[in-house]
Amino acid sequence: MLDYLKLFRIQNLLVVALTQYLFRYCIVLPVLNAQGVEQHLFLSNIDFFLIVLTTVFISAAGYAINDYFDLRIDRINKPHKIILGRKISRRKAISAHFVLNIIAVIIGFYISYKVRSIPVAAVFIIAALLLWLYSIRYKRKLIIGNVLVSFLSASVVIIVWLFEYVNLINRVDDISIFNFEKIHLLLFVYAFFAFLLSVIREIIKDIEDIKGDKQTGCKSIPIVFGKNKTRYVIIGLTIFLMVFVLLFQTYSIISLGFYLFAAYMLFAVQIPLIVLIFKINNAKDKISYTISSRLTKLIIFTGVFSMFLFYYYFY
């Protein structure tokens, strides 16, 4: 069982679930309550749990299929961490991939039925398909793979509001009486934050894995442009992310009067991003990039956890 938890990246899956729960219960529901939306119009807690479960299953299936097709690369880049072929057979991994996706799609159709919009189930089918295509094709393409997997990371919060909104428009006669501006703003902020930080992390991981990627014909950014230029790209993207976060911090102070959020983001996100810039600039070996990659995971977590503060603000 422990080996399967490693295969499915249990820590990453927990962050996915935490992100969706925080966004719904700390942002979406408080805003809807403030708008006077009656609670019986919300998705039930069980239905929302099934949405999270579906997202987690598709993510886990994506990790399994990625390891399946990356076995040759992993034997070069991280032979001591390989699970497939040693503790779990490749056949079991591909079987787990299909089983998890099938269960996820079935649950997805059930939830779509509950929100009275069967076509919205397509979002789960598309996500599973994109993860498959990423593993077998786009991961080895220049930039496309980085952008695709980062978009899927950002979609974690988008899915939460998508199903809640579809549920509302099918149960309320006139949805225009409600103002969802704050939800849409925060949805954009957190989705874009997740997207850009995921792009940064994916590029750092490409530098980590450059040896195996090069030997297996991948066209990653560091292979095509070299490590030095890639470091400048990472630093540039990080600075851009810092400016984006700073703009939202300013907005939270001027428009919302939410000083606690601005202070939290300074210490929990901005300062770690500055540390990341210094680490990337001074990186000399694979270990340095591994540490930088782990730092981005920490920043993703601290950024996501900031949603908790909005629970107290909106209530």
DSSP 243-266: HHHHHHHHHHHHTS--HHHHHHHI
In this prediction the pTM is: 0.94
Check whether residue 128 and residue 198 sit in a common domain. no
Residue 30 placed within a domain: no
> What are the CA-CA distances from residue 300 to residues 3, 111, 142, 291 (Å)?
25, 28, 24, 14
Q: What is the pLDDT of residue 18?
A: 97
Residue 261 placed within a domain: yes
Check whether residue 247 and residue 230 sit in a common domain. yes
Residue 105 placed within a domain: yes
Check whether residue 267 and residue 279 sit in a common domain. yes
What are the residues whose beta carbons fall under 8 Å from the beta carbon of 121, sequence distance 6 or more?
105, 108, 109, 111, 112
Tell me which DSSP letter residue 8 carries.
Answer: T
Tell me which DSSP letter residue 1 carries.
Answer: -
Q: Count the residues in the chain.
A: 315
Q: 88 in helix, strand or coil?
A: strand
- Per-position b or e across 98-126, b if 16+ CB within 10 A of its CB: eebbeebbebbbebbebbebeebbebbee
The pLDDT tens digits along the chain (315 residues) read 665 666 668 889 999 999 999 999 999 999 999 888 888 889 999 999 999 999 999 999 999 898 887 777 777 777 677 777 677 777 888 898 899 999 999 999 999 999 999 999 999 999 999 999 998 888 888 899 999 999 999 999 999 999 999 999 998 878 888 889 999 999 999 999 999 999 999 999 999 988 888 887 788 899 999 999 999 999 999 999 999 999 999 999 998 899 999 999 999 999 999 999 999 999 988 899 999 999 999 999 999 999 999 998 887
Residue 72 placed within a domain: yes
Residue 187, domain extent? 179-315
Check whether residue 161 and residue 281 sit in a common domain. no
Q: What is the pLDDT of residue 68?
A: 80
Q: What is the pLDDT of residue 250?
A: 96
Q: Considering 153, 176, 199, which residue would you say is the last residue of a domain?
A: 176
Please name the residue that has the structure tokens 């993207």.
237
* Single-letter amino acid code for the residue at 57: F
Check whether residue 183 and residue 254 sit in a common domain. yes
- The domain spanning residue 314 has which CATH number? 1.20.120
Please name the residue that has the structure tokens 């979406």.
28
Residue 68 placed within a domain: yes
Task: Report the half-sphere exposure of 228 (CA within 13 A, side-chain side).
Answer: 0
Helices 144-169, 122-136: inter-axial angle, 10-degree rounding = 170
Q: Considering 142, 176, 210, which residue would you say is the last residue of a domain?
A: 176
Q: What is the pLDDT of residue 174?
A: 80
Q: What is the pLDDT of residue 311?
A: 92
Check whether residue 82 and residue 191 sit in a common domain. no
Check whether residue 202 and residue 304 sit in a common domain. yes
Closest CA to 51 of 175, 187, 155: 155
Residue 163 placed within a domain: yes
Residue 294 placed within a domain: yes
Q: What is the pLDDT of residue 1?
A: 60
Q: Considering 157, 176, 195, which residue would you say is the last residue of a domain?
A: 176
Check whether residue 67 and residue 132 sit in a common domain. yes
Residue 32 placed within a domain: no
CA 117/CA 170 separation, integer angstroms: 8
Check whether residue 203 and residue 313 sit in a common domain. yes
Check whether residue 156 and residue 209 sit in a common domain. no
Q: What is the pLDDT of residue 193?
A: 97
Quote the number of domains for the chain.
2
Check whether residue 73 and residue 156 sit in a common domain. yes
Check whether residue 202 and residue 307 sit in a common domain. yes
- The domain spanning residue 160 has which CATH number? 1.10.357.140
Q: What is the pLDDT of residue 5?
A: 63
Closest CA to 58 of 25, 23, 9, 22: 9
